[in-house]
Amino acid sequence: MSEHIRLKRGLDIPLAGAAPAKIAETVVPDLVAIKPTDFKALVPKLAVKEGDAVKAGDALFVDKMRPQVRFCSPCSGVVQTVVRGEKRKLLAVVVKADGQNDSVKYDAVDCSKLDKQAMTAVLQERGLWPMIKQRPYGIVANPEDAPKSIFVSAMNTAPLAPDADFIMDGQFNYLQEGVNALARLTKGGVHFSLAASKEAGSAMHDLKGVIFHTFDGPHPAGNVGVQINHISPINKGEVVWTVDLVSLAAIGRCLATGTYDMSRLVAVTGPAAEPVYVKGVQGMAIAAVGKYAKGENVRYVSGDVLTGCNVGADGYLGFFDNQVTLLEEGDYYETLGWIKPFRLKKFSFSRLYWSWLANKKKTYALDTNVNGGERAFVVSDVYGKVLPMDIYPVYLLKACLAKDIEKMENLGIYEVIPEDLALCEFVCPSKIEIQKILSDGIDLMLKEMA
């Protein structure tokens, strides 16, 4: 019997532009890119050079500290560009697709016959290991660690997030194969969280070998970090691993078929988009869905509006992303600002605008205007209203700013990564870059606790 957890704190942002459950087309991108910057604390070592021919599943770069952890091309083609930044930092490896989608071939795997060491070796060889994240800190999992449990969230409550059951339609057997693989990596079981409102109608509740939990409540109820906090909080010295739903299906598909197939349904969403689902591939060029943008002054976000990355029209889909959000740029000055009366087309968490009197199902075409500048970082209870976790976010963030490691430990740095506090940043009256502060704090912990 599954455990049911009801969360009351949080916020569902009523953003316009949800994609209808229908696939508009199959996108065949001309370029794809894998970016080391999608991985926390990764030191990459290049495995190819410009002009090299690659197949889907060939390594583009590896982890310098653990060369057995490979980051592979999602398509076949030729390495067109190795993008570097300051001090020759590797930013991306861009592959020009040949349209053939040739893949490295492997044998099918019977997970029941493998122990943890053998299963780990298989996942590393096939370039699947980077899909497993480790907490604390949200880094690529260390194969030498023994996680107390592995967590999978089968619900995404972020603004305009793709519907989990729709994008996983026809993928049930691969999900089961992925679960079978993860079960070999831990003695603590695979915890699988479903939305309570959709559990009965979802095929995923028939998965075998998992520990089910159901969650009900507003965002961030779907965040795996929030779920871990309510199921089995992380203490100092403990390690847990997490895998997102799309990655779980990709792992199972590669193990079952022997083909490195990183195709996925991508939701093109947002007020500045003609919302659709397209069938694409990991790391595909954003330009491939540019025709669905409405207008020219548009921000292209890989991911959702709270945690996604502004990649621009010439950017690429993130390694873990299956959503592109298009927003109007808010590069304008608004006369009278927040004291302007009525503002019925603006959404306010604090009910400052009269729009809160509107129908609860109303959606808003929000843009990127932050409506003010950074102010003093004062103690407030506003974060606690949207964060259903047993931590004190204001004090944790101030400990990060002060670089006080002992206080950071005591205040919950092991339990959170930036995505868990993204809503706090959205409602912050001081316009503080909360996710960056927390990310810098995690960087400090990684440096000092190594």
State the Cα–Cα distance between residues 45 and 68, nearest whole angstrom. Answer: 11
Q: Residues 163, 258: one domain?
A: yes
State which amino acid sits at residue 382.
V
Q: Residues 118, 162: one domain?
A: yes
Q: Residues 281, 315: one domain?
A: yes
Q: Residues 48, 176: one domain?
A: no
Q: Residues 15, 79: one domain?
A: no
- Within a domain: residue 359? no
pLDDT of residue 339: 66
pLDDT of residue 142: 96
State which amino acid sits at residue 149.
S
Domain boundary among 97, 113, 145: 97
pLDDT of residue 352: 72
Backbone angles phi, psi at 155, to 5 degrees: -140, 140
State the Cα–Cα distance between residues 7 and 389, nearest whole angstrom. Answer: 10
Q: Residues 35, 20: one domain?
A: no
Q: Residues 85, 144: one domain?
A: no
Task: Identify the domain containing residue 266 by its residue range.
Answer: 1-24+103-330
Q: Residues 92, 226: one domain?
A: no
Q: What is the CATH number of the domain that holds 70?
A: 2.40.50.100
DSSP, residue by residue, 318-384: -TT--EEEEEE---S--TTGGGSS--TTS--TT--SGGGGS-TT--B---S--SS--------STGG
- Within a domain: residue 335? no
List all residues 6 or more positions away from 218 whose beta carbon is below 8 Å from its beta carbon.
7, 9, 10, 11, 12, 157
pLDDT of residue 354: 66
- How many structural domains are present in the chain? 3
Q: Residues 296, 411: one domain?
A: no
Q: Residues 153, 296: one domain?
A: yes
Helix (H/G/I), strand (E/B), else coil: 399: helix
Domain boundary among 266, 300, 330: 330
Please count the other Cβ atoms lying within 10 Å of the Cβ belonging to residue 339: 7
- Within a domain: residue 346? no
Nearest Cα to 303, choosing from 22, 7, 35? 35
pLDDT of residue 200: 80
Q: Are the C-beta atoms of 15 and 308 separated by less than 8 Å? A: no
Nearest Cα to 255, choosing from 115, 109, 69? 109
Q: Residues 130, 219: one domain?
A: yes
- Within a domain: residue 178? yes
Nearest Cα to 97, choosing from 73, 78, 72? 78
Q: Residues 55, 163: one domain?
A: no
Per-residue tokens: 370: 């932050």
Helix (H/G/I), strand (E/B), else coil: 247: helix
Per-residue tokens: 314: 């010439």
pLDDT of residue 237: 92
Nearest Cα to 73, choosing from 42, 119, 29? 29
- Within a domain: residue 375? no
- Within a domain: residue 12? yes
Q: Average pLDDT per run of 10 along the chain, which is 450 residues long? A: 88 96 95 97 96 97 97 97 95 95 93 95 97 97 96 97 96 97 96 91 92 96 97 95 98 97 97 97 96 94 97 97 96 71 75 71 88 83 94 95 96 96 94 96 92
- Within a domain: residue 310? yes
- Within a domain: residue 3? yes
pLDDT of residue 401: 96
Domain boundary among 261, 295, 330: 330
Helix (H/G/I), strand (E/B), else coil: 62: strand
Strands (E), 64-183: 70-72, 77-84, 90-97, 133-135, 139-140, 150-153
